[in-house]
Amino acid sequence: MKKVAGWSAEDVSDWLSKEGMPEYIDALRQMDGPSLLRLTEADFKMPPLSLVSSDGGQQMLERLETLQIETHIEAHKNGHANGHTGGLPNGTSKPQRNGILGMKDFRKEMVHIPIPTMEKTRSSFPAEWGKTGIAFVYAVICFVTTTVVISVVHERVPPKEHTPPLPDKFFDMFNRVEWAFSICEINGMLLVGLWLIQWTLLKYRSIIGRRFFFIVGTLYLYRCITMYITTLPVPGMHFKCSPKLLGNWEAQMRRVMKMIAGGGLSITGSHTMCGDYLYSGHTVMLTLTYLFIKEYSPKRFWWYHWFCWTLSAVGIFCILLAHDHYTVDVLVAYFITTRLFWWYHTMANQQSLKETSQSNPFSRVWWYRLFLYFEENVNGMVPRNYQVPSSLRALPWNRGVKYSKLDIQ
């Protein structure tokens, strides 16, 4: 391995990427190896380093301390074997007995290696799978509630013969394409599948998972409110809505269970109810999965980001092309999804926004306490690190070298 003293600025950038701290690359792009080792805690209290992370550079300082120790050991391991160097140390005029330095010289040559305390070694990104489970239950409850509300709203949708579709500029410009909504749902399933695969390979999947579950659950909870308080007529005369059950709750529950079993997709034949227009749930999933895929994958995977963006954009366009949602439904869904995603991640990445104060307007949102519960032990930006799940590493085909302890007499 190349010595740190000989590192170039490019070597420093590579080291930052390998250590899972790519956010420092821009701030340290002109720094070489020796300059990197000279960084102190005071440097992280001043721009530009103070603007990179909200933890005051603690993670970076810990890794620098490790790098300094490794560099110190590397520099001394050949020169201090058996207590002497190639020549006589410290100007000693005669060799020491058995090649061992005098106690005075020995103390001068000692290498001080600080042993971190348990508090310091605590992970900045604890798994806390229990919190992830709570976020998952929250998302499931919101999904089920949404389905029940759709069944209730379906009973209030005015007949299309009496209340025709509202005027929509997009519908005036583009004629309906019957198969377009199927393309939308196929794209959505592809994006969800790609995100699930990516999520299982993330090192900090527990933290990222609960962020996804909380955000998607909250978006569908908002959707329950908007479609219940404002029931829009069907967007097109092509809609074939299921008959109204007029208070038959048993039949309504069977309809709800059928919709849940089919994932709420028209392509599976499970979604035959009308009224869930404001705002579009399909747009929520197409937008949110792309945002998470891009946020938690390396920037160098630009081709992967563009592919997922294309799937998302084409899917959203096909919603409108199929005349299955008004344009306002899609615009409101996109606006709410992107803002909630960006607000949540801004709050999660800035330690100062996790403190309740008059100067922190984010602390006034209704879900702030739940946010603190999920994010209180997460310090800084979650690195985009990947690893094979432990369940896969334990499979027989994983031929990694294994070691065992031997008792040697």
Catalytic residues, by residue number, are 282, 325, 329
Of 205, 364, 220, the C-alpha closest to 285 is: 220
With beta carbons less than 8 A apart as the criterion, state whether 361 and 367 touch.
no
Count of Cβ atoms closer than 10 Å to residue 395 Cβ: 8
Q: How far is CA 374 from CA 62, 213, 342, 346, in A?
A: 25, 11, 16, 14
Backbone angles phi, psi at 323, to 5 degrees: 55, 35
Count of Cβ atoms closer than 10 Å to residue 175 Cβ: 8
What is the DSSP secondary structure assignment for residue 276, as one 8-state letter?
Answer: -
CA distance 286 to 351: 30
What is the DSSP secondary structure assignment for residue 302, as one 8-state letter?
Answer: H
Q: How far is CA 59 from CA 33, 127, 378, in A?
A: 18, 17, 12
Residue 19 identity (one-letter amino acid): E
Strand-pair partners of 386: 202
Radius of gyration of the chain, Cα coordinates, nearest whole angstrom: 29
CA distance 372 to 383: 20
Backbone angles phi, psi at 266, to 5 degrees: -70, -30
| Percentages of the chain per state (helix, strand, coil), in multiples of 5 | 60, 0, 40
CA distance 18 to 403: 26
Strand-pair partners of 202: 386
With beta carbons less than 8 A apart as the criterion, state whether 124 and 55 touch.
yes
Of 237, 228, 243, the C-alpha closest to 166 is: 237
